[in-house]
Amino acid sequence: MSARIRVITTGGTIASVPGPGGEVSVAVAGRDLIGAAGAAVTVEVDEAMLVHSFNLTLDDMLRIAERVAAAVADPEVDGVVVTHGTDTMEETAFFVDLLLGAHRTVVFTGAQRHAGEPDGDGPRNLADALQVAAATARRGLGAVVVMAGRVHAARYATKAHTVAPDAFDSPGYGPIGRVHDGRVHIAARPERLPGFTLAELEGLAVRVDIVPAYLGADGVHVAASRAAGARGLVLEALGAGNPTPGLLGETRACVAAGMPVLVTSRCHAGPSVPVYGAGGGATLQEAGAVFAGSLAAPKARLLLTAALAAEPGPAEALARIGPHLTI
């Protein structure tokens, strides 16, 4: 008896075709995606939404997570696949990973070439994702991204190329597995830590902004976020986690106002670490900012958003996510 896989479809390039004017729009129903993939497993389709991922909101992401939770809890479902646009796939996958039980795997996939192209990559990616879901459903990999024959852990996966079919990478870590000729090879198991429950996150109406650092940044964007009511901030700092003088001053103001600040790096690989004094990362830490380790800024934002939604205050939120900032 073949594995029974639930495919939750959300849209994205994998479900897109060009219109009369040449613009690409989401239009392909979930059942048609499955037909093109030629799956060797039993598939049931749950069409959650039909949108480009650059239009998704936090509420949409929560809806997708709720569909995943329902699928994982269904005893008749052996594995779960989510089709998703590649622009924000890494964020939704990471958020779902924070909600998954220790012994489950959920597979995200999509496409870089739309469904109307003769060499579209969607059918192969979906077929690979179905095989990974069937082979690893109860192996506790958490959420993974399967694209171009590679399996990436959600914590490290990122879209590294705008248009290439092999668009995803895990900078500094590499993929945890591969799919070749329908065979799934998993070489590593990602470290996973306790996350959150859906009951704790009834709403994600918590504003957490990301502010990038660049030469001469004066901190006006940090001040604007604070004025706009942000409850937390992620600073995408320079190098190992260094601010400009303007960003350092505004970070002090955030901490003084009870607003937690996580520090990530704009570098593609390596952790943020407080090394330099004289206004560098060590000074930023002394000012009360918290370093986010290997997390990229978009994922640090989601982690802090979830913690602030789940906990009564910033101190409790930072304590809750502390272990996630050390790996």
State the residue for tokens 């901030």: 233
**Closest to 26 in 3D by CA, of 36, 12, 8:** 12
Q: Which residues pair with 180 in a beta bridge?
A: 183
Asked if residues 39 and 127 have their Cβ atoms less than 8 Å apart, the reply is yes
Catalytic residue (one of 10, 13, 83, 251):
13
Active site residue 162: no
Handedness of CA 137, 141, 142, 147 (dihedral sign): negative
Tell me the residue ranges of DSSP E strands in the chain.
4-11, 16-18, 24-26, 42-51, 79-83, 105-109, 142-147, 150-153, 158-159, 168-169, 177-180, 183-186, 208-212, 232-237, 261-265, 290-291
Q: b/e for 269-306, b at 16 or more Cβ within 10 A?
A: eebbbbebeeebbbbbbebebbbbbbbbbbbbbbbbbb
Q: Which two tokens stand for residue 77?
A: 């479902």
**Residues with catalytic annotation?**
13
